[in-house]
Amino acid sequence: MACALLLFLGYFGVLWTAKIAIRALPVSVDEKIGTMAFSGMEMGRKLEANHPASRLVQEIVDKLKPHASIPELKFKVTVVEDADINAFALPGGQIVVFTGLIKEAKSAEQIAGVLAHEMSHATLRHGIERVSQSLGIVAAIQIMVGDVGGLVALGAQVAQTSILTSYSRAAETEADLEGARMLNAAKIDPKAMADFFEMLKEKMGDLPDAMAWISTHPQHETRVQSIQDHQKKLPVVQYEPLQLDLKAAQEAL
């Protein structure tokens, strides 16, 4: 019995140590995992960087990234041909946006709301934390023996199974609030994020594709209220409409 207890405590002690150690790893590890995972993912056709939809998304990311909590993070955004209303972030700032989301957005600000949320997953390092949770004792041992290369390879495999594109409720809430802060700092009304959730809710009844993004983001009503409450605590700024041609981007898809 005593032996079993020691093994139990030792196991969770190693995991706890790994979680702390993972947070201490440089963001370059996140970037390597994200890049490797992205290169191995099977997705629809990737739009070229000069496509109107790609340019629109890139301009929004460029406006948001000066306000990211990790300034050195290199955000890379790719628009993929897919009808799902979806977007996701991989560790290190690799962000994928589906054309279905761009087509259904009612404003560039709504797209900015989604991007701010996904960028926040990267800056809060939810992906690398998810690696440690998924790999468990394996990740712990690799970190403790200094095998970062092995961790990167295994982490990329985890990402390719899409485990990293779904986070805990606490992580989603954290990304919502950090995303709202980024929007506010960029002089974009955080209400756009809540508006996007409301738009998805309306479409859920007659557009199955709308379920793609919202299915991994539970407690819709609670999250909208949380964003609205958090916005009241943010510094008061004069919001500026995004001068981007969403209609042209949508027509080019």
User: 0.85 exceeded by the pTM?
Assistant: no
Per-residue pLDDT tens digits for 50-104: 999 999 999 999 999 999 999 889 999 999 999 988 899 888 999 999 999 999 9
Per-residue pLDDT tens digits for 19-61: 565 666 788 888 888 888 888 887 899 999 999 999 999 999 9
Check residue 235 and give its pLDDT: 94
Domain contains 10: no
Domain contains 243: no
Calculate what percentage of the chain has a pLDDT beyond 90: 45
On average, the pLDDT of the chain sits at: 79
The whole-number average pLDDT for the span 114-124 is 96
The domain in which residue 167 lies consists of 23-238
CA distance 241 to 106: 13
Q: Give the chain's domain count.
A: 1
Q: What is the CATH number of the domain that holds 57?
A: 3.30.2010.10
